[in-house]
Structure 1
Amino acid sequence: MTKVNYVEASGTVHAVEADAGITAMEAAVKNGVPGIDGDCGGAAACATCHVYVDTAWIARTGPAGEGLEKSMLEFAEDVTEASRLACQITLSDALDGLVLRLPDRQH
């Protein structure tokens, strides 16, 4: 199991335990984390799972992928270097304790 901490813009933390191999978006949706909609079901086609990877975790998750992920982030609001689509972050034991911050609002 991989623990992921989703931090709302208000500071409220939602700690979720999820199986390795699913995405951070799937884990959030399955556990009712507010602010992660995942309208496209994980196809990187909507940007409703936009998150900010905590700076301590960026080296492990990597930056937004070239192509589809970066293109979809163009539709998200307040994009930064730490922005990722949660549907493109596959959980693994190496990401146990991952901290993802949620934007004020999703597109």
Structure 2
Amino acid sequence: MEDLVKFVQDEFVTKKEFPKFSAGDTITVYYEIREGEKTRTQFFRGVVIQLRGTGASQTFTIRKMSGDVGVERIFPINLPTLQKIEVNKKGSVRRKRIFYFRELTGKKAKIREKRK
């Protein structure tokens, strides 16, 4: 059964090329919004909290602060309305899923930039 699902995903799901990113990176996601017959491009800039899944079913979660309120959004990597992803900063974190980041505030919520 898994082979059949993988075959269908490989054959029929269109794949887009996006830059490599991981947890701790600050990225900007540009996606299309439809309001009635009009479409516009909106962006969401934040820190990647987690990458989950593989292949066509991969998703990533982004967290940003909007005033004093934390906002998280989950994007499937194969979302048809996803236009582009920009990596703004590479973060240096020790874990793949940084859920501890939700409780941090102020200076503690800074993620060190990865050294080159």
Same fold by TM (over 0.5)?
no
**Normalising to structure 2: TM-score of the pair?**
0.29
Structure with higher strand content:
2
Rg (Cα) greater in structure? 2
Structure with higher helix content:
1
**Normalising to structure 1: TM-score of the pair?**
0.30
